[in-house]
Amino acid sequence: MRNTSDRLMPGSRLRAMTTTMRAAICAAVLLQALPATAAYPERPIRMIVPQAVGSSTDNVARIVAIEMAREIGQQIVVDNRPGGALQLGLELTKQAPADGYTIAYAPIGALAIAPHLMAKPPVDALRDLAPVGQTVTGHHVVMAGPKTPFMNLQNVIDYAKKNPGKLFNASSSNGSPGHIGFELLKSMAGINVVHVPYKGGAAALVDLMSGQVQLMMEGLNSATPHVQAGRVRGLAVTGPKRSPIFPDIPTVVEAGVPGYVVTVWHGVVAPAKTPPARIKVLNAVLNRALVSPEGSRRILALGSEPNPVSAEEFWKLVRSDRERWGEVIKRAGAKID
């Protein structure tokens, strides 16, 4: 007996062959695509940090990079690119290939504050970047240099009101949370203090300790060891409650400025159009890094709290804080100087 397939009409046989060929082609395409997805990442990932080495942002970024590297099995190379009111690093990220091999560690200042201070910001985060996830939440501390006579925030306010323009406050950069947070404090307290921007928190802290500037608002991440050692004097924390690291330091509200609360956060972003599958991998790796025993321990020791969330939840936070800080900056009249 002849094989059943031999009895197929020529047209039927052609259709059967075509269907088989289509299935084979689809299978081949899938097999070619799977290794690239399954193997990602196949090489080190570059993490751009828009602030200098030793800054509050950099300190946490390096912890996150180490823990992400453990989780993902590839090196995360930290690339510090300070400048441009935190926008230089984001602009480099925007211009990088959207392949999952370039990400940026972005503080609130870069994504939600600095753009409102600039006439023509080079990056529109919501258009030019893609969210990976949030890393931490925290707050800042207002500090005075050890050579100043200021023992509390009210001392500063009283002196500044009697001597407008004679005090100088440092910040890690134009557009940083410490910059705009102090601008808000000046506005709410009714004082005139001159802003001095630096290229990184480490350099600013050195000048605070030596007496070149008298005041600074900086994240607990980088300020904590200096306050604990007595190299600078902690006057007030900016959050809604006292920090467990410094239970004896009052909040700004307790120190005499009603209604003043400033919280900060960091997150990770990638170039827009980075494949969703790779964003998903990065988000999962990031969140595991944040809750790892070593990662969470080191982050908490710096005064921040790990906050693993989805990429979508992180972008909701960015949108809401961009709107909030835009209104604050408009009221304060703050600009890049």
Fold match, 45-138+264-332 / 145-237: yes
**Residues sharing a CB contact under 8 Å with residue 282, sequence separation 6 or more, in sequence order:** 100, 103, 132, 133, 268, 270
3-state secondary structure of 249: coil
Residue whose structure tokens are 């500090």? 143
Domain ranges of the chain: 45-138+264-332, 145-237
pLDDT in tens, the chain (337 residues): 444 433 334 444 334 334 333 433 333 333 333 333 458 999 999 999 999 898 888 999 999 999 999 999 999 999 999 988 889 999 999 999 999 999 999 999 999 998 998 889 999 999 999 999 999 999 899 999 999 999 999 999 999 999 999 999 999 888 788 888 998 999 999 999 999 999 888 899 999 999 999 999 998 878 989 999 999 999 999 999 999 889 999 999 999 999 999 989 999 999 999 999 999 999 999 999 999 999 999 999 888 899 999 999 999 999 999 998 898 788 767 777 5
What CATH number was assigned to the domain covering residues 45-138+264-332? 3.40.190.150
Give the closest residue to 102 by CA, choosing from 74, 122, 77, 123. Answer: 77
| CATH number 3.30.1360.120 given to 145-237 | no
CA dihedral sign of residues 147, 153, 156, 159: negative
